[in-house]
Amino acid sequence: MVEHGRITEPSISETGIDMSEVEHIGRRLLAMIDTEHAAITLAGDGVFLIDRQGMTLYIPTFPIVQANDVGAGDSFAAAMALALVAGGNIEESARIAVDAASIAITKRWTSVVSYQELLQKVSLRDHASLSPVTGACSPKSITRLTEQLGEERLRGKTIVFTNGVFDILHAGHVQFLRKAKELGDVLVVGVNSDHSTQRLKGKRRPINNERDRVSLVAALDPVDHVVLFNEDTPSELIRALRPDIHVKGGDYTDEFLPEAETVHEIGSRVVILPLAGSISTTSVIDRIISLVADEKMEVKQ
């Protein structure tokens, strides 16, 4: 069983890996070499740490939508060595190394992971541990959030809910969330998981993984709670959280909003807010692609 990262008893984890077998390999490795700790990397499933006192720790990774198969191991080893030399403990050094590897595999061929990239990744992870983020699509965490919202409601607070992919945050997102918060007292934002985003937007999306998207949304001042959901529409989440107001942006109407029936079913109302300006994530991505194409043309010339 994996609990808070610590392996409390041999089991097959949610990734399908037999952790008891991994632990056995780790113990054999420690018996063969003169070292206090062993780190066993598990490809896209993270890293397993074990020491001579028998303490074990499983550090998971987060999904990378377009991962390359070059550079992860080298980046992990280099980053972990540097973190240890800099005075980090074994756990934090391993987490930094996982962050470095996850950056490396988003690039083509053998690439350098810059200090700024790694600092941003670590900062997002640290913020995620402190921010009001509900666990990834976990029924237990949804129940906990529902209880929190129930307490807020007893205090006379109005609960506002909205949802989206929030792939590349831009000014339009910020303005929309500010206006949504003005409609009530507590703003809850549902964020589509990576799998849900791929189904809705195609295999090339999202650009940023769910952990980073959730962390960035949670860092915005108007947002009180952030929750991941894996469905194509937030209907089930709305049914569980029972917000007073459901907010959408754009030119939706009740007739064409998939979750409108659920909103009315629980006695809530839909508010449609016009999107500010012409900024959209798609337009931002198209602009980046255009700039890259122009740059390549200049190089060829």
Same domain, 90 and 106: yes
Give CA–CA dist 8/27, Å, rounded.
Answer: 16
What pLDDT is stored for residue 189 in this prediction?
96
Answer yes or no: are the C-beta atoms of 129 and 163 closer than 8 Å: no
Would residue 292 count as lying in a domain?
no
Is residue 293 domain-resident? no
Give yes or no: residues 18 and 78 share one domain.
yes
Q: Which of 75, 107, 130 is the last residue of a domain?
A: 130
As a whole number of angstroms, the distance between CA 276 and CA 278 comes to: 7
Could you tell me the end-to-end alpha-carbon distance of the chain, in angstroms, rounded to an integer? 59
- Is position 259 within any domain? yes
Number of independent structural domains in the chain:
2
**Is-contact 181 247, C-beta < 8 A?**
no
- The reply to whether 9 and 83 lie within a common domain is yes
The question of whether 99 is a catalytic residue gets the answer no
Let me know whether 67 and 158 are in one domain.
no
Q: Do residues 225 and 182 share a domain?
A: yes
Among 114, 130, 146, residue at a domain's last position: 130
Decide: pTM greater than 0.85: no
Catalytic hit among 69, 74, 244, 254: 74
Asked whether residue 141 falls in the same domain as residue 276, the answer is yes
Q: Is 186 inside any structural domain?
A: yes
Same domain for 279 and 138 = yes
The Cα 75–Cα 81 span in angstroms is 10
Task: Check which CATH number belongs to the domain holding 212 and give it.
Answer: 3.40.50.620
Single residue among 97, 115, 130 that ends a domain in this structure: 130
Q: Identify the pLDDT of residue 187.
A: 96
For residue 7, the model assigns a pLDDT of: 43
For residue 280, what pLDDT is reported? Answer: 57
Question: What does the pLDDT profile of the chain (301 residues) look like in tens digits?
Answer: 333 344 433 344 445 678 888 899 999 999 999 999 999 988 777 889 999 988 888 887 765 655 666 778 888 999 899 999 998 899 889 988 888 888 888 777 777 888 777 777 776 565 555 445 555 556 777 888 888 898 888 889 999 999 999 988 888 889 999 999 999 999 999 999 988 999 988 888 888 888 888 988 998 999 999 999 989 999 999 999 999 999 998 767 666 788 999 999 999 999 999 876 555 556 655 666 666 665 666 656 6
Are 79 and 62 within one domain? yes
CB 121 within 8 A of CB 102: yes
Residue 290 lies in a domain: no
3-state secondary structure 165-193: CCCCCCHHHHHHHHHHHHCCCEEEEEEEC
Indicate which CATH number applies to the domain containing 12: 3.40.1190.20
Q: Answer yes or no: do 65 and 197 share one domain.
A: no
Residues 278 and 144 in one domain: yes
* Claim to verify: residue 141 and residue 274 sit in the same structural domain: yes
Tokens encoding 206: 């999202």
* Residue 245 in tokens: 């107001």
Residue 31 belongs to domain spanning = 2-130
- Distances, alpha carbon 74 to alpha carbons 38, 90, 111, 141, 295, in Å: 16, 18, 10, 36, 30
How many Cα neighbours within 13 Å face the side chain of 300? Answer: 6
Q: How far apart are CA 45 and CA 63, in angstroms?
A: 9
139 and 263 inside one domain: yes
- Determine contact, residues 101/79, Cβ cutoff 8 Å: yes
- Ranges of beta strands (E only) in 34-128 are 37-41, 47-51, 56-59
Within-domain flag for 85: yes
Domain assignment of residue 296, yes or no: no
Angstrom distances, CA of residue 217 to CA of 26, 40, 62, 190, 290? 38, 33, 17, 10, 27
Residue 289 located in a structural domain:
no
Whether cis (ω within 30° of 0) applies to the bond prior to 206 is yes
